[in-house]
């Protein structure tokens, strides 16, 4: 690693924390704590992380109207995309939805190159391309389930793709005029504000496990996601979005490796190819 690698450290922390989060998030869901309630738990875990972030800057929050709007845009596109994803998964097959959504870095890269004039070395460009291919392969399950006749899920998937692509770009754009800690604070505020939507999306006809293996476990696990979100904001403060976002998008590599250790299941060829490309991409991007 050369020059200032601060962005890389934060990006790798995000990748690692999101990877572990992805490997264990199914635990509370399988024990009767639905993903929509998990969203509420996640939004609450953002609060202590936000308090720590504000303490770092001595509570000097960027409070101008422009800052509030920028920070809220980052939060609404991220948290709003998660809520839309819940509905998409109700309407269509996950094995098609996740590969579409996972390629949101393409939009971030396009916006960052055209609007922010970001660029990279030839080696890093190759790493970015390999990372995008790896992200697709790592997200594609190949489970040939029967798709529903309605294609509403496709529209919803495209919405998530756009929202998350915009979020990463807006996060980088906002970092140019705001403190990273302020951005995260507004992400927390908007995340919590959207919690009622997740609540009303929950099927309360099914029993919900609020106990140690359900709600409590979800709250603990979602801290990993919240910390990863905070370090992502820092990574985009110091690094280029066209490099940071594809790198953090490789978190499924960690998820798969941990899942292999837990379930002892040999991955299918597409996952093996994705894992190999991910390792190469991380090496090239980390120039």
Q: Which of 154, 147, 174, 211 is nearest to 73 (CA)?
A: 174
**133 in a domain, yes or no?**
no
Token pair in block for residue 14: 């995000």
Give the three-class secondary structure for 44. helix
| pTM of the full structure | 0.91
Q: Among 65-74, 135-144, 206-215, 232-241, which stretch is predicted with the lowest mean pLDDT? A: 135-144
Question: Max CA-CA distance within the chain?
Answer: 56
**264 in a domain, yes or no?**
no
Q: Among 1-5, 59-63, 68-72, 276-280, which stretch is predicted with the lowest mean pLDDT? A: 1-5
The share of the chain scoring above pLDDT 90, in percent, equals 78
pLDDT confidence of residue 223? 96
Express each pLDDT in 28-66 by its tens digit.
Answer: 999 999 999 999 999 999 999 999 999 999 999 999 999
pLDDT confidence of residue 1? 43
**74 in a domain, yes or no?**
yes
**233 in a domain, yes or no?**
yes
**135 in a domain, yes or no?**
no
Residue ranges of alpha helices (H) inside the chain are: 6-24, 26-30, 35-56, 65-91, 94-102, 105-115, 122-139, 152-175, 180-193, 195-201, 215-238, 241-248, 251-263, 269-285
135/260 Cα distance (integer angstroms)? 18
**212 in a domain, yes or no?**
yes
Decide if pLDDT at 110 tops 60: yes
Domain total of the chain = 1
**112 in a domain, yes or no?**
yes
Decide if pLDDT at 179 tops 80: yes
CA 190 to chain centre: 16
CB 253 within 8 A of CB 19: yes
**285 in a domain, yes or no?**
no
* pLDDT (mean) for 130-141: 88
Q: Among 83-97, 134-148, 186-200, 213-227, which stretch is predicted with the lowest mean pLDDT? A: 134-148
Decide if pLDDT at 212 tops 80: yes
Q: Note down the domain range covering 216.
A: 6-15+24-118+147-245
pLDDT confidence of residue 259? 83
């Amino acid at each position: 690693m050369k020059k200032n690698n601060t962005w890389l450290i934060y990006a790798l922390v995000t990748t690692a924390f999101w990877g572990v989060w992805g490997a264990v998030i199914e635990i509370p869901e399988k024990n009767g704590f639905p993903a929509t309630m998990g969203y509420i738990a996640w939004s609450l875990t953002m609060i202590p992380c936000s308090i720590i972030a504000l303490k770092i800057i001595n509570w000097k929050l960027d409070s101008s109207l422009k800052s509030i709007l920028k920070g809220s845009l980052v939060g609404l596109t991220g948290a709003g995309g998660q809520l839309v994803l819940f509905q998409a998964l109700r309407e269509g097959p996950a094995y098609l939805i996740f590969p579409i959504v996972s390629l949101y870095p393409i939009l971030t890269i396009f916006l960052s190159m055209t609007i922010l004039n970001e660029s990279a070395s030839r080696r890093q460009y190759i790493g970015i391309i390999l990372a995008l291919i790896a992200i697709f392969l790592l997200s594609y399950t190949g489970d040939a389930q029967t798709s529903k006749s309605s294609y509403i899920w496709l529209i919803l998937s495209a919405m998530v793709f756009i929202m998350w692509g915009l979020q990463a770009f807006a996060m980088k754009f906002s970092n140019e005029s705001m403190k990273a800690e302020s951005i995260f604070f507004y992400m927390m505020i908007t995340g919590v504000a959207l919690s009622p939507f997740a609540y009303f999306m929950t099927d309360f006809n099914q029993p919900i496990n609020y106990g140690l293996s359900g709600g409590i476990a979800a709250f603990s696990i979602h801290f990993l996601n919240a910390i990863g979100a905070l370090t992502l904001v820092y990574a985009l403060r110091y690094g280029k979005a066209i490099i940071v976002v594809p790198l953090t998008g490789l978190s499924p590599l960690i998820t798969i490796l941990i899942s292999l250790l837990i379930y002892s299941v040999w991955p299918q060829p597409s996952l093996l190819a994705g894992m190999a490309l991910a390792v190469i991409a991380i090496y090239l991007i980390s120039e």
